[in-house]
Structure 1
Amino acid sequence: MLYRRFGKTNLRLSVFSLGTMRANASPENAWQTIQKAIVLGINHVETARGYGKSEEYLGEAMSNDKPLRVYAVGLPVPRSQVHITTKIPPTPDADTMRRYIDESLERLKLDYVDCLGIHGLNTWEHFNWVKAKGGCMQAVQEAVADGRVRHVGFSTHAPLEIILAAINTDLFEFVNLHYYYFFQRNAEAIQQAFEKDMGVFIISPADKGGRLYTPPETLKDLCHPFSPLKLNYRFLLSDPRITTLSVGPAHPNELTEPLQVAECDTELTPEEMTVFQRLENHQRAALETDKCSQCYACLPCPENINIPEVLRLRNLAVAYDMTDFGQYRYRMFENAGHWFPGMKANRCTECGECLPRCPENLDIPALLQDAHNRLNGPSGRRLWS
């Protein structure tokens, strides 16, 4: 396992972090997953107030000022060597945040957490709560002052503009965000965070990065001799601005494949670069003049359709047969609130406002209808909504 400095926190985190959202089938399953992760070298465990019983189960593995009850090579692992992050949603007032912090520490059975993330800083309203004098950050800063929180950051599913604004508040030491080979919209946020010496934590690269643990045959063939999952991990780990990647197993065995690349953070090899170029060439040929370049110039949409995201999912479905992933994400529209905002593409009224803004001269209404036909299905929701 390799370790990197988590920005100005100066914590040295394993390049993979254990996310505990899915390992909640039972206390025993959660315990076994945490145990295996630490034995394999992971030193950062992340949970959240909103992840079901995750904090409670993690707390069962903790005891204040005592070794974590995990044994690697026969030796107990001290609490000081296992970094714990929990996340709490933004609140409009300090009192609610104070209560939430107290409740999380109680469930975790800890005197302090290494990192507290404002969970889901996704809207301008959330941003204003964070910026407000006497708001939720007052309670967070009090917890930092009395030692119950060591470092503060935020996690986000927000549009790029909100992410950049939050980074530029200088209130945070790290950021958790989406960024993958198949979604590079947040590249500017990665650079901005790096320039401010913030730790960068990539959310769910296997799942939100394309459901790459179950890739379609077309994508597997294009990525040969590598797996799509390994290529995405290499794309991220080859970037020195990124500190750590989330791995979120439902059970211990799901840790095996991701950690095969836990010591591969060198620059991309010529062979890997050739495969990435092959993917680009194939997408260009498959989509021809219907390729959305993700410039976001088409927004805002009067019907609140997230046009670029809908067309990104269509790009992936058409070019790489990533229809399963596209359907999984598309079904979240209208069902996941601010975590995945926007209306489905069939809401398009063909008003035409987006057409003159598009530098590719795409027939956006027609592509939206095609995307809806390909990707629509039963409604989806977030796991812990």
Structure 2
Amino acid sequence: MQYRRFGKTNLKLSVFSLGTMRCLASEAVFQQTVTVAVARGINHLETAQGYGESERYLGRLLQSGQIGRRSQLYLTTKIPPTAEAAELDRQIDRSLARLQTDYLDCLALHGINTPAHLTQVHSSLKAVEAAVADGRVRHVGFSTHGSLALILAAIQTGYFEFVNLHYYYFFQRHAAAIALAQQQDLGIFIISPADKGGLLYTPPDRLKALCDPFSPLALTYRWLLSDRRLTTLSFGPANAAELDESLAVADLEATLTPAEMAALARLDQQPLETLGRDRCAQCYACLPCPERIQIPEVLRLRNLAVAYEMSEYGQYRYRMFENAGHWFPGQKANRCTDCGDCLPRCPQQLDIPQLLRDTHERLKGPERRRLWG
């Protein structure tokens, strides 16, 4: 296992962090997964108040001594932002009690997804400062599913020492946030690259062929870890057996091999060959849309479905529109009214309304009969 400095926190974290959201089938499964992960060199465990029994299970495991001394591990928990300092203070104490520890190595304010959330952070900052001053919290960061502009604004506040960020081979929109975080010496924690990064544990045949002789998961992990600005990648196995594929690359040197670079070059070329003039370049100039359609994200999912046959991933993400609130905002593509507002702003002169309709038909998934119909 390799270890990297987590920005200005100066913590040396394993390049893979164990997310504990999925290994909750039973407490025994949880304990086995965490125990094996720690034995294999992972020293950073991530949980959240919203992850069911995860905090409680982890607290009991820490107290059992099965995974070594508390001082040998780094714990991050995530708490939603709130405007009330007293409430945030209570939530910090609640997590400490569940985890059966007297300090958090890292507290991440979870889901700074809108400008209102960032305002709430400012309002409750006294509680965070007090928790740091009295030793209950050692380092403070944030997780986000928000826009690039919001992420840059959050980094620029100077409140935070690390960021939990979506950034993957198949989603590089947040490259500017990576650069700014590195400039300000924030630790950079990549969220869920296997799942949110493309359902890469169940890749389609075309993607597997393009990545051969590597698996798509291993190759894209290697792409991320070749960037020394990134400290650690989150992965959330459902059980101990799922640790193997991810940890197979944990000991490799950061520099990509010629064979890996050749496979990545094939991935780069594929959209150019298959999408032609319909390839959305993800410039975001088409926004805002009067119907609140997240046009670039919709067309990114189309790009992936057409170029790499990543339709399962596209459907998984597309179904979240209109169903996930501020975690995945925007209307489905069939809300397009052909108003044409986006057309003069597109430097590629894409027929955006037609591409939106095509994406909806590709990714809407099967109709489901209502139980009462």
TM-score band by shorter chain is over 0.9
What is the rounded CA distance, in whole Å, between the counterparts of 1:144 and 1:221 in structure 2?
50
Residue 68, structure 1, aligned to residue 83, structure 2:
no
Match of 1:187 in 2: 175
Moved more, 312-321 or 98-107: 98-107
Residue 216, structure 1, aligned to residue 204, structure 2:
yes
What is the rounded CA distance, in whole Å, between the counterparts of 2:6 and 2:286 in structure 1?
36
For the residue of structure 2 that corresponds to 1:276, the secondary structure is helix
What is the rounded CA distance, in whole Å, between the counterparts of 1:266 and 1:19 in structure 2?
22
Match of 1:25 in 2: 25
Match of 1:124 in 2: 115
Match of 1:45 in 2: 45
For the residue of structure 2 that corresponds to 1:179, the secondary structure is coil
The correspondence of residues 1-385 of structure 1 with structure 2, limited to 5 A, is: 1-63=1-63, 68-70=65-67, 77-131=68-122, 135-377=123-365
Query: 1:116 Cα deviation (Å)?
Result: 0.2
Q: Which amino acid aligns with 1:370?
A: D
What is the rounded CA distance, in whole Å, between the counterparts of 2:249 and 2:354 in structure 1?
41
Q: Which amino acid aligns with 2:351?
A: D
Query: 1:226 Cα deviation (Å)?
Result: 1.0
- Are the equivalent residues in 2 in contact too, given 1:47–1:86 (CA < 8 A)? yes
What is the rounded CA distance, in whole Å, between the counterparts of 1:324 and 1:203 in structure 2?
20
- Are the equivalent residues in 2 in contact too, given 1:335–1:379 (CA < 8 A)? no
Query: 1:378 Cα deviation (Å)?
Result: 6.5
Q: Deviations over 1:280-303 (max 9, x none)?
A: 211111000000000000000111
Match of 1:73 in 2: none
- Are the equivalent residues in 1 in contact too, given 2:5–2:13 (CA < 8 A)? yes
- Are the equivalent residues in 1 in contact too, given 2:103–2:137 (CA < 8 A)? yes
- Are the equivalent residues in 1 in contact too, given 2:228–2:254 (CA < 8 A)? no
Q: Deviations over 1:98-134 (max 9, x none)?
A: 1111111111111011000000010010011112xxx
Q: Which amino acid aligns with 2:140?
A: V
Q: Which amino acid aligns with 1:7?
A: G
Query: 1:307 Cα deviation (Å)?
Result: 0.4
What is the rounded CA distance, in whole Å, between the counterparts of 1:96 and 1:298 in structure 2?
40
Query: 1:377 Cα deviation (Å)?
Result: 2.8
Query: 1:273 Cα deviation (Å)?
Result: 1.6
What is the rounded CA distance, in whole Å, between the counterparts of 1:355 and 1:280 in structure 2?
26
What is the rounded CA distance, in whole Å, between the counterparts of 1:290 and 1:278 in structure 2?
19
- Are the equivalent residues in 1 in contact too, given 2:304–2:314 (CA < 8 A)? yes
Identity over aligned pairs, percent: 64
With over 3 angstroms needed to count, the CA separation of the structure-2 counterparts of 1:5 and 1:379, relative to structure 1, is: farther
Q: Which amino acid aligns with 1:154?
A: F
Query: 1:68 Cα deviation (Å)?
Result: 3.5
What is the rounded CA distance, in whole Å, between the counterparts of 1:84 and 1:68 in structure 2?
15
Q: Which amino acid aligns with 1:26?
A: S
What is the rounded CA distance, in whole Å, between the counterparts of 2:340 and 2:25 in structure 1?
48
With over 3 angstroms needed to count, the CA separation of the structure-2 counterparts of 1:369 and 1:124, relative to structure 1, is: same
Q: Which amino acid aligns with 1:314?
A: R
- Which runs of no fewer than 5 residues in structure 2 stay unpaired? 369-373
Match of 2:371 in 1: none
What is the rounded CA distance, in whole Å, between the counterparts of 2:356 and 2:168 in structure 1?
23
What is the rounded CA distance, in whole Å, between the counterparts of 2:19 and 2:170 in structure 1?
21
What is the rounded CA distance, in whole Å, between the counterparts of 1:333 and 1:265 in structure 2?
39
- Which runs of no fewer than 5 residues in structure 1 stay unpaired? 71-76, 381-385
With over 3 angstroms needed to count, the CA separation of the structure-2 counterparts of 1:154 and 1:378, relative to structure 1, is: farther
What is the rounded CA distance, in whole Å, between the counterparts of 1:379 and 1:32 in structure 2?
39
- Are the equivalent residues in 1 in contact too, given 2:226–2:255 (CA < 8 A)? yes
Q: Which amino acid aligns with 2:19?
A: G
Q: Which amino acid aligns with 1:104?
A: S
Q: Deviations over 1:234-262 (max 9, x none)?
A: 00000000000001001111101100000
